[in-house]
Amino acid sequence: MITQQEAYETMMSEARPMGSERVGLDDALGRVLAEDVRSDMDMPPFIKSAMDGYACRRKDLANKLKVVEVLKAGAVPGKTIATNECAKIMTGGMVPEGADCVIVVEEVNVLDTDTVQFNGESTRDNVCQKGEDMQVDDVVLTAGIRLGPQHIAMMASVGCVSPQVVCRPRVGILATGDELVEPDVIPDVSQIRTSNSHQLIAQVRACGAIPTYYGIARDTKESLDAAVKTAMSDCDLVLLTGGVSMGDLDLVPGIMKANKVNILFEEIAVQPGKPTTFGVSEEAACVGLPGSPVAAFTQFELLVKPFIFSMMWHEYRPGHLRLPMAENRTRARALRENWFPFKLTDDGAVLPCEFHGSAHVESICEAYGLAHMPVGMSTIEAGALVSVRIL
Ligand code: AMP
Ligand code: MG
């Protein structure tokens, strides 16, 4: 059995990069940048006032100053500041030639309509130098960044109105199991609703990929095979849930093989998620996730999410922290590594969520992240540091 880390490395080495396309600036949120963005100008593009005040010469600070013009932001100065002169200036305004500082309004006495005097002891320059934030042709964003609102602002300020971004992978989702019904159906006595299908649709969408749902395949070779064939031919990646364990009707790995999927692993030494199966065909990559909802959720986080991001040229690096345990945690066996959902206490400690087993979806609803117990560790004491991953 391979380790979680080996499973991760195997999958990452199989991620096939998507192509790229141009999109409008306001459609780029959540997409991954496919090429570096460079600045088309210096920023600020001129010497800019950082304050509301009066632009003048530092060596005249002790003198009365004549106000020669008023400069709003956006105005071009018409005058050069000479000895004992100043220009009233607003934040963001162009500092006139001759001036080397801006004295702030709060430190100025207005003597009459066009005469002022500095009343402070000393002043900073209160100006932003041309090009101090960035210069023309500087790389301001690098390929591989996943674009958030702040990156959209960056692109807007350098005139990058149609960024080149990575195409979104199409990800097929297929639930398997005779016991499953869709959420809008009231289950019979022996049935449950498929929560994994919709969890996975949401998880895929949250990564910025395009989910396509193929419904519930029944636990027969015919039903599974037909659905897998369609999904593999439509999609870049296919996610199945259920049917990967050791039961008589756990047909998924066999169906994957029958569809020319080269299986690269069928078991991981982890809890939850041991039966997670992965393989690739010429058409698409294929992951068989466990049916147990918490296991499907966890293995999506640990494996599928970084894989999807890697297809989109983005190196996914979740926040990894070491935090103290709020209480003791013990497990019966420590043959596999373990990831468990936890809440954060008010003083920043790791409190395991109430957990009844891998079908207990509620346990992940309140989770702040997943915490880690390595192989061989059956107890963590309160106060000991534990590795966690923020969701
Ligand atoms: P399996 O891996 O098919 O043996 O399923 C393991 C457990 O997960 C069983 O209790 C299933 O009923 C449950 N399960 C399977 N698929 C889903 C699903 N799509 N949504 C919620 N629970 C599921
Ligand atoms: Mg099943």
- Which DSSP string corresponds to 240-309? EES--SSSTT--HHHHHHHTT-EEEES-BSEES-TT-EEEE-SS-EEEEE-SSHHHHHHHIIIIIHHHHH
Q: Which residue has the tokens 């971004």?
A: 165
Contact indicator for 375, 369 with CB cutoff of 8 Å: no
The pLDDT assigned to 271 comes to 95
Q: What are phi and psi of 163, to 5 degrees?
A: -65, 150
Ligand 1 center from residue 11 Cα (angstroms): 23
The pLDDT assigned to 349 comes to 98
Ligand 1 center from residue 241 Cα (angstroms): 7
Residue nearest to atom 6 of ligand 1 (CA): 291
Q: Which residues contact 373 (CB under 8 A, 6 or more apart)?
A: 329, 331, 334, 337, 338, 340, 380, 386
The pLDDT assigned to 247 comes to 87
DSSP state of 163: -
Using a 6 Å cutoff on CB, does residue 192 contact ligand 1? yes
For the record, the structure tokens of 208 come out as 């910025």
Percent of the chain having pLDDT more than 90?
95
Query: Average pLDDT over the chain, rounded to whole?
Result: 97
b/e map 212-232, b = 16+ CB within 10 Å: bbbebbebeeebbbebbeebb
- Burial of 251: CB neighbours in 10 Å, binned 0-12, 13-18, 19+: buried
H/E stretch holding 7:
helix 4-13
> How far is residue 384 CA from its own chain's centroid?
29
Residue nearest to atom 10 of ligand 1 (CA): 292
The pLDDT assigned to 282 comes to 97
Using a 6 Å cutoff on CB, does residue 196 contact ligand 1? yes
Q: How does pLDDT run across 78-93, given as a tens digit for each residue?
A: 999 999 999 999 999 9
Average pLDDT estimate for 232-253: 94
CA dihedral 11, 13, 18, 20 (to 10 degrees): 130
Work out the pLDDT band at 176, boundaries 50, 70, 90. Answer: very high
Is the preceding omega at residue 272 within 30 degrees of 0, hence cis?
yes
Ligand 1 center from residue 55 Cα (angstroms): 71
The pLDDT assigned to 133 comes to 94
Work out the pLDDT band at 126, boundaries 50, 70, 90. Answer: very high
Report the distance separating Cα 364 and Cα 276, nearest Å. Answer: 19
Work out the pLDDT band at 214, boundaries 50, 70, 90. Answer: very high
The answer to whether residue 359 scores a pLDDT higher than 90 is: no
Q: Which residues contact 321 (CB under 8 A, 6 or more apart)?
A: 387, 388, 390
CA dihedral 195, 201, 206, 210 (to 10 degrees): 180
Using a 6 Å cutoff on CB, does residue 306 contact ligand 1? no
Q: How does pLDDT run across 247-298, given as a tens digit for each residue?
A: 888 999 999 999 999 999 999 999 999 999 999 999 999 999 999 999 999 9
**Pairing between β-strand 270-271 and β-strand 192-193 as defined by DSSP bridges:** unpaired
Ligand 1 center from residue 180 Cα (angstroms): 8
Work out the pLDDT band at 350, boundaries 50, 70, 90. Answer: very high
Average pLDDT estimate for 1-9: 97
pTM (2 decimals)?
A: 0.92
Using a 6 Å cutoff on CB, does residue 290 contact ligand 1? yes
For the record, the structure tokens of 115 come out as 């005469």
Ligand 1 center from residue 251 Cα (angstroms): 13
Report the distance separating Cα 273 and Cα 118, nearest Å. Answer: 71
- Burial of 186: CB neighbours in 10 Å, binned 0-12, 13-18, 19+: exposed
Report the distance separating Cα 30 and Cα 38, nearest Å. Answer: 20
> How far is residue 9 CA from its own chain's centroid?
20
Contact indicator for 149, 3 with CB cutoff of 8 Å: no
H/E stretch holding 230:
helix 221-234
Q: Which residue has the tokens 């190196």?
A: 315
Concatenated DSSP letters for 290-352? -SSHHHHHHHIIIIIHHHHHHHTT------EEEEEBSS-EE-S--SSEEEEEEEEPTTS-EEE
Contact indicator for 204, 197 with CB cutoff of 8 Å: no
The pLDDT assigned to 90 comes to 97
Ligand 2 center from residue 247 Cα (angstroms): 8
Ligand 1 atom nearest to 194, measured from its CA: 20
Instruction: For ligand 1, pick from 178, 214, 241 the residue to mutate: most ligand atoms within 8 Å of CB.
Output: 241
H/E stretch holding 49:
strand 48-49
Average pLDDT estimate for 24-48: 97
The answer to whether residue 355 scores a pLDDT higher than 90 is: no
Using a 6 Å cutoff on CB, does residue 93 contact ligand 1? no
The answer to whether residue 319 scores a pLDDT higher than 90 is: no
| Lowest mean pLDDT segment, chosen from 56-70, 235-249, 299-313 | 235-249
Residue nearest to atom 16 of ligand 1 (CA): 291
